[in-house]
Amino acid sequence: MARLKILVVDDNQDFCESVRDILEAEGHEVQATYDGQSAVELAQKECFGLILMDLVIPGMDGVTAIKAIRKTSPSVPIIVVTAFGEESIIEEAFRAGANKQFGKPIDFNRLLADISKNDHYGASA
């Protein structure tokens, strides 16, 4: 499996730490941030192979952040990870440029399997 540089965006710090621990144990480099504006700024400065994005986050919401990230990083895969299950919001996230959606609580085995089988997720050095 290729090593990825992954950005996790969620306002729940415990969730971010859990995701970081699991993904780092699999050999990935993980950076976490807790709001949309910081996510956009990080995506502009660094090259991520994958972004995991919550939709309900402080300041700039996830859909707006996805739109902004797509302007400078049009090909980075973005997986929406949210407990907020309103179909119209999830559809809006896909229109903004999200590639996939996982509900919370997240099935980490499914996420890891998805990451390992998708060669299009960008590898980092």
Measured CA to CA, the distance from residue 37 to residue 60 in angstroms comes to 6
pLDDT digits (tens, 9 = 90+) for 29-70: 999 999 999 999 999 999 999 999 999 999 999 999 999 999
pTM of the model: 0.92
Which of 65-77 are b and which e, b meaning 16 or more Cβ less than 10 Å from the residue's Cβ? bbbbbbeebeebb
pLDDT band at 117 (very low <50, low <70, confident <90, very high): confident
Domain that holds residue 105: 5-117
pLDDT digits (tens, 9 = 90+) for 10-24: 999 999 999 999 999
CATH of the domain at 77: 3.40.50.2300
Q: What is the pLDDT of residue 124?
A: 44
Question: Is residue 125 one of the residues assigned to a domain?
Answer: no
Q: How many domains does the chain have?
A: 1
Measured CA to CA, the distance from residue 28 to residue 23 in angstroms comes to 6
